[in-house]
Structure 1
């Protein structure tokens, strides 16, 4: 990705970045055209699936929102010659923060209505009750769909995506296997292929990184870390990758960037206790103390856009799918230095997200899956930043290794 200097003011908010009117790159426009052509070609089929793949930050959600707005505009227009006229279409996403964002965006576009956007369980249960079938379902963050029943969330069937495909002629979905975060959503390419086998299916893979405005050495470093490797320190560049010996110093730096450009936040791996009990729960690292994000399901703005959340630490569930200008990331006690490999190792017993590891029935390698989920979470957290990623490691040995690596580069 080519470097991009910061503007005089802060970056646009998430609603603007995901706007249906946002200018697309040639690759993204090509994808949009391919989706539209696929929908027209298969509009009379019983079922068909269009799969959008790509790493975090390649603009998958931007494309899906753009084409959804266009198709809804044609559906609700007076142009009876359009193949999309009076089609019944929906966008579903199993992510409450992203749902807030989509519904907020819909208020600015006459072709979009809030009822067009639903969580998958709500949509599936409603459609089964009505006996109806949609023409096109767009599924953002499909890697968050449930792969097994969940009585707690009122999902009685066996797989979200399987049910969604049954309920639509065409299903367009965004999928990234590296963003799977729970046993209950334990997706793999094999499982995905088994669900679309025998159906007309087209896959498009986005490759260009748009979120992280950094040279390739930074992107390689992040990818390597999520594979338990510590690659050489990237060269100095406009993207600011920094390691901190003190968590409070990191927080002070993030507050400084937030005052200048906004949309800069603290986030952490799920290695610190947190419960939905109405109380505040805190992350403590040395002289640093800050509360986890407060649960506010009725809050209209997503966590990443609320000014008050500079005084909180977000989790992977808070920021997945969102851009931040600067990220202050605390790697908690589960992320350890491995002197034998000069890499990292993951201690799955230190992970505090118990909900992520419920529903292990049927998993062939639960321990290996736990590690994969935790590394996926680190990947999501590390790929939120547009202009700078500041990292503090709780493990003293890992912290020392990262800070020394940075000092050696700066002294060269």
Structure 2
């Protein structure tokens, strides 16, 4: 997603008119439904003045593309500035520029990490060259348009307030500066030369638009990459705070082998890459000769990893690398060089099946290893016995005489890379108040279903692509199938919905070939990720008197998460209810953040469903928002009302084919001044979701003059079949590839009619189709 896109000429004009920061902020609001921070607006105001002077040269064509704040696919990270065009060999080229307002920085002993000053004080951050290079790597590896078109990417960093000091671009960071040069306070001319070295001509096509709307490579999942990682291959690029945390952990691990015990606590929410970092540390510390193990309380990730690694490594090797948190009750001090604890919020006081072994899992881990790192999220505590909070780990580590270090992860790699969705979810569940009170379609594919059957079938359809989508539920239904394998567990009778829990599976539910028909719970998916997750929110979570209300008594007695809750209510009801409230909300927060691409939800409580809908940018209405009138007075036609046609009729009538009559008239508001060149058709199918949904009424303008590139058009294509519309008519995004001769004349090489829903295929129109293809109208808006 690009926040601001323009030509070089327009960008320079916006800066000259002193509107650039406002323009970017308005575009930010348009895309994300919220304004950014005043600090970021001020940084745009400042940095864009410098960039305008750099690109404002006659040697760089006026139509050269400029993009500001491009969000890297599948992450929450944004590239500050991009220049696009053609190089001297007429190849498509991007120059990406990481902008910094730093005035100075200090070196660290950690590769690719420096210290600089922010408003809140000094902090360790990734070196600007590493940052720019890693962003380029992510773009190159995840954007299929860049790969297919062979677009070259050249990264660099521009620190326009930083006086030369021989450090930031010196020998210490030479490996990274070679990959992405650093330009400092007096280097505007050098940066200009760098850009001109790679961008000499403007492209006849809008390269930035194609990249922004291009297909993405399927996102990697940790479980699928384990074998390669254990063999020493780098499968995941570490960005920004990930890089800092990783290098800090390696540094402390090496330091601990020769001296005082070191403990690192890494706090991070869902999808911030905690597990990826943990596996990377396991691999690299082991390679350095530091005896290391990966530790989790939850057995589900270990079971999945074991299956994925079987056949490539011996079982004894796998079992020695991946162990449970109750393994260390009787181990001697400093037996291990490093213990890497994932999902540390799930650690318990006691170990063993009956919780009768050991003293304290946190203390036993710290005792066993010279270096221990705890990856923790306090908001994923989902069991009464969970003790692994940031505060408790810090307290125990200090009591045991260890040096304690705290780091934080914020980079988002799940939920479409949307920090906005996570903040919105916290606000919707009333876990904490956030500024994200509205969710937009661009944030994340989040849908609310009125039927669990419809939701389940949609997730099942998504699962057909790669077996990486599942449905989960709150533990509000008894495990009947444990005793009777033919019995059903999750039963919602008014919809005829009947499913079993997944516990009787012979293979890990997350990767089982047939487990899509079973429902998972928090215990079988925490610490793991899916492409799409469906969530059934049970009666333990409701909405009353403007509050999200939890009820621990609605949980199944088979669920161990609230074991002891009823006894606690009798002794201390306030503490018991508060504890249950946190566990239930954390459970659903965790379930709803398992999906990398989408989350579909059915709420048993209708009031809660309506509460969530109220917080979505486009609130679904219970009644139709438009009404077709069979007849209206002539004096309101094309003033307040537009004619409605079937898609076939519109293509026949406005395409100057057969003369079809209208189906009726619809009142149209909010589309500007109406005229006789405008009409309405009803969309069919799901190919243009989320912008156009099945059944939406769409206002079109008869094919206007000018470029159609990137616009949504109504077209007819007699040689092709559109499954959505069961015929030769389509509403699709228009994209064309043109070729030019030596005289500057052009012709279409092909026209691509692109769906917005990636589950559908494009329709390719070639020059041979000739009169069998015509554009009828351009989308004005959706009623």
| TM-score computed with the length of structure 2 as normaliser | 0.46
Deviation of the 1:17 alpha carbon: 5.0
Match of residue 100 from structure 1: 303
Match of residue 605 from structure 2: 395
- Distance, in Å, in 1 between the alignment partners of 2:407 and 2:481 is 39
* Residue-by-residue CA offset, 1:341-374 (whole Å, 9 max, x unaligned): 2x41111211225411235789992221111111
Q: How does 1:82-161 map to 2 (within 5 A)?
A: 87-104=290-307, 106=309, 108=312, 113-121=318-326, 123-125=327-329, 127=331, 133-147=335-349, 149-150=350-351, 152-153=353-354, 155-161=356-362
User: Cα gap change, 1:10/1:290 in structure 2, threshold over 3 Å: closer, same or farther?
Assistant: farther
Q: What SS class does the counterpart of residue 101 from structure 1 fall into?
A: helix
Q: How does 1:398-409 map to 2 (within 5 A)?
A: 398-402=608-612, 408=619
Deviation of the 1:44 alpha carbon: 2.4
Match of residue 317 from structure 1: 523
Q: What SS class does the counterpart of residue 560 from structure 2 fall into?
A: helix
Relative to structure 2, which stretch is displaced further, 260-269 or 234-243?
Answer: 234-243
1:367 counterpart = 2:577: yes
Q: What SS class does the counterpart of residue 510 from structure 2 fall into?
A: helix
Deviation of the 1:262 alpha carbon: 3.1
User: Cα gap change, 1:146/1:405 in structure 2, threshold over 3 Å: closer, same or farther?
Assistant: closer
Q: How does 1:41-80 map to 2 (within 5 A)?
A: 41-75=255-289
Relative to structure 2, which stretch is displaced further, 259-268 or 181-190?
Answer: 181-190
Judge conservation of contact 2:295–2:325 (CA < 8 Å) in 1.
yes
Relative to structure 2, which stretch is displaced further, 387-396 or 14-23?
Answer: 14-23
Judge conservation of contact 1:9–1:260 (CA < 8 Å) in 2.
no
Judge conservation of contact 2:344–2:376 (CA < 8 Å) in 1.
yes
Match of residue 423 from structure 2: 220
The alignment covers a number of residue pairs equal to 392
Judge conservation of contact 2:537–2:604 (CA < 8 Å) in 1.
yes
- Distance, in Å, in 2 between the alignment partners of 1:247 and 1:105 is 31
- Choose from 440, 457, 462 the match for 1:252: 457
Normalized per residue, which structure has more helix? 1
User: Cα gap change, 1:151/1:39 in structure 2, threshold over 3 Å: closer, same or farther?
Assistant: closer
- Choose from 379, 393, 396 the match for 1:192: 393
* Residue-by-residue CA offset, 1:90-121 (whole Å, 9 max, x unaligned): 22211111112333455547996432221122
1:168 counterpart = 2:377: no
Match of residue 79 from structure 1: none
Relative to structure 2, which stretch is displaced further, 59-68 or 149-158?
Answer: 149-158
- Distance, in Å, in 2 between the alignment partners of 1:265 and 1:10 is 17
Q: How does 1:245-394 map to 2 (within 5 A)?
A: 245-274=450-479, 277-280=482-485, 281-285=488-492, 286-287=494-495, 288-296=497-505, 299=507, 302-338=508-544, 340-341=545-546, 343-352=547-556, 354-358=559-563, 365-394=575-604
Deviation of the 1:74 alpha carbon: 2.5
Deviation of the 1:275 alpha carbon: 6.2
User: Cα gap change, 1:354/1:208 in structure 2, threshold over 3 Å: closer, same or farther?
Assistant: same
Deviation of the 1:61 alpha carbon: 0.8
- Distance, in Å, in 1 between the alignment partners of 2:362 and 2:619 is 49
User: Cα gap change, 1:306/1:403 in structure 2, threshold over 3 Å: closer, same or farther?
Assistant: same
User: Cα gap change, 1:45/1:106 in structure 2, threshold over 3 Å: closer, same or farther?
Assistant: farther
Deviation of the 1:172 alpha carbon: 1.5
- Distance, in Å, in 1 between the alignment partners of 2:402 and 2:555 is 39
User: Cα gap change, 1:256/1:6 in structure 2, threshold over 3 Å: closer, same or farther?
Assistant: farther
Judge conservation of contact 1:48–1:201 (CA < 8 Å) in 2.
yes
- Distance, in Å, in 2 between the alignment partners of 1:54 and 1:405 is 25
Match of residue 80 from structure 1: none
Judge conservation of contact 2:260–2:403 (CA < 8 Å) in 1.
no
Q: What SS class does the counterpart of residue 528 from structure 2 fall into?
A: coil
Deviation of the 1:229 alpha carbon: 7.8
Judge conservation of contact 2:540–2:554 (CA < 8 Å) in 1.
yes
Deviation of the 1:232 alpha carbon: 4.8
Match of residue 34 from structure 1: 248
Deviation of the 1:127 alpha carbon: 2.4
Q: Which runs of 5+ in 2 are unaligned?
A: 1-70, 75-212, 626-782
User: Cα gap change, 1:233/1:252 in structure 2, threshold over 3 Å: closer, same or farther?
Assistant: farther
- Choose from 379, 401, 404 the match for 1:201: 404
- Distance, in Å, in 1 between the alignment partners of 2:422 and 2:302 is 28
Deviation of the 1:216 alpha carbon: 4.4
Judge conservation of contact 1:146–1:160 (CA < 8 Å) in 2.
yes
Judge conservation of contact 2:285–2:291 (CA < 8 Å) in 1.
no
* Residue-by-residue CA offset, 1:224-250 (whole Å, 9 max, x unaligned): 123258975522237311111111111
- Distance, in Å, in 2 between the alignment partners of 1:6 and 1:373 is 40
Match of residue 81 from structure 1: none
User: Cα gap change, 1:382/1:67 in structure 2, threshold over 3 Å: closer, same or farther?
Assistant: same
Normalized per residue, which structure has more strand? 2
- Distance, in Å, in 1 between the alignment partners of 2:481 and 2:451 is 29
Judge conservation of contact 1:265–1:310 (CA < 8 Å) in 2.
yes
1:15 counterpart = 2:223: yes
Deviation of the 1:294 alpha carbon: 2.3
Deviation of the 1:290 alpha carbon: 1.1
- Distance, in Å, in 2 between the alignment partners of 1:3 and 1:224 is 25
- Distance, in Å, in 1 between the alignment partners of 2:284 and 2:321 is 13
Q: What SS class does the counterpart of residue 291 from structure 1 fall into?
A: strand
Q: What SS class does the counterpart of residue 305 from structure 1 fall into?
A: coil
Relative to structure 2, which stretch is displaced further, 273-282 or 203-212?
Answer: 273-282
Match of residue 242 from structure 1: 447
